[in-house]
């Protein structure tokens, strides 16, 4: 165990407002402890068994929290030697690693959604094609910025099916909108379809992010599908290319 280890506590029980999964909350505690020097570079974190006992959570939960720290570049797991701290802070810029729908919840929890405009409005032909829906249908449309420590990291456009438009005045700054829809309306997001495109930043996006016009950016379009395959909501975001890393881990025989 690292010298002068932090006193970790089991995360509180879930409240009515959606909260990150347990593994994400534990990851956050460990990140804070590393950043504050409670676990110095070159020292070991508590063992899985010790963390399970002190936090009263399952080994699966602890392993997922540690896996996320590995992907963030903060620790290394060494066979027979434990989990060693190798950095106090994750690399600069935004690093996103998605392996499940729950990973999107963590991304939303790690950032703040600053909404600049919300309105019920008809879909343009372009937006309707992305959803897909009929042009002219009235959906709840949000526009704003994703904010992380240090400033805006992306623009955000969100299109919410009119069935769920009532949540428009009760959106939290943190947390995933899809999770709020699930809890309030009793529906389930069964699948997320994501498309990533590299292209020049549109003028309005460049201006919002303080970037040069025509600078290369990355566009993410995510469609959140219900169990019937219909789109519950769609998000479209733009990130400056050099400040965003998308990480994936592929294993032989999976998927």
Q: What pLDDT does residue 91 have?
A: 60
Q: Which of 85, 113, 138 is the last residue of a domain?
A: 85
CA 6 → CA 14, 77, 86, 179, distances in Å?
A: 23, 19, 17, 31
Question: What is the count of structural domains for the chain?
Answer: 2
The length of the chain, given as a count of residues: 255
CA distance 5 to 93: 28
Q: Examine the domain organization and report whether 105 and 78 are in the same domain.
A: no
Q: Examine the domain organization and report whether 76 and 49 are in the same domain.
A: yes
Q: What pLDDT does residue 249 have?
A: 60
255 found inside a domain: no
Q: Which residues contact 42 (CB under 8 A, 6 or more apart)?
A: 84, 85, 86
pTM: 0.62
Helix (H) or strand (E) holding 203: helix 203-209
80 found inside a domain: yes
Average pLDDT for the chain: 84
CA distance 214 to 226: 36
Q: Examine the domain organization and report whether 237 and 112 are in the same domain.
A: yes
CA distance 158 to 195: 15
- Mean of pLDDT values over 133-155: 91
Q: What pLDDT does residue 170 have?
A: 80
Q: What pLDDT does residue 155 have?
A: 95
3-class DSSP state for residue 190? Answer: strand
- Residue 173: pLDDT band (50, 70, 90) is confident
Q: Examine the domain organization and report whether 114 and 175 are in the same domain.
A: yes
| pLDDT tens per residue across span 222-252 | 999 999 999 999 999 999 887 666 666 665 6
CATH no. for residue 135?
3.40.1410.10
| Full residue range of the structural domain in which residue 62 is found | 22-85
Q: Examine the domain organization and report whether 99 and 46 are in the same domain.
A: no
Residue 207 vs residue 148, higher pLDDT: 207
| DSSP letters spanning 34-88 | HHTTSS-TTPBPPPHHHHHHHHT--HHHHHHHHHHHHHTTSEEEETTTEEEE--S
CA distance 39 to 32: 10
10 Å CB burial of residue 118 (0-12, 13-18, 19+) is: middle
Q: Examine the domain organization and report whether 29 and 75 are in the same domain.
A: yes
| pLDDT tens per residue across span 85-140 | 988 887 655 555 555 565 665 566 678 899 999 999 999 999 999 999 999 999 99
- pLDDT > 80? residue 210: yes
Residue 68 vs residue 231, higher pLDDT: 231
Q: Examine the domain organization and report whether 45 and 114 are in the same domain.
A: no
Q: Examine the domain organization and report whether 203 and 128 are in the same domain.
A: yes
CA distance 178 to 244: 23
CATH no. for residue 40?
1.10.10.10
């Amino acid at each position: 165990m690292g010298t002068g280890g932090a006193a970790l506590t089991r995360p509180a029980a879930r409240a009515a407002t959606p909260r990150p999964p347990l593994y994400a909350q534990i990851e956050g505690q460990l990140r804070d402890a590393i950043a504050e020097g409670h676990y110095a570079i070159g020292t070991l974190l508590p063992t899985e068994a010790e963390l399970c006992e002190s936090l009263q959570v399952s080994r699966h939960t602890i392993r997922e929290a540690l896996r996320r720290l590995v992907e963030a570049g903060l620790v290394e797991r060494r066979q027979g030697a434990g989990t060693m701290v190798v950095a106090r802070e994750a690399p600069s810029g935004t690093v996103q690693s998605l392996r499940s729908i729950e990973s999107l919840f963590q991304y939303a929890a790690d950032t703040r959604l600053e909404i600049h405009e919300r309105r019920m409005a008809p879909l343009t032909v372009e937006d309707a094609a992305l959803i897909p829906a009929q042009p002219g249908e009235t959906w709840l449309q949000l526009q704003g910025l994703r904010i992380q420590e240090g400033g805006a990291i992306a623009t955000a456009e969100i299109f919410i099916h009119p069935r769920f438009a009532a949540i428009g005045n009760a959106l939290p700054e943190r947390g995933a909108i899809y999770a709020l829809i699930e809890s309030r309306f009793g529906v389930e997001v069964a699948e997320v379809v994501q498309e990533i495109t590299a292209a020049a930043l549109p003028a309005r996006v460049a201006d919002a992010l303080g970037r040069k016009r025509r600078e290369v950016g990355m566009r993410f379009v995510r469609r959140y599908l219900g169990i019937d395959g219909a789109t519950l909501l769609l998000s479209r975001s733009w990130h400056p290319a050099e400040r965003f890393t998308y990480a994936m881990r592929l294993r032989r025989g999976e998927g």
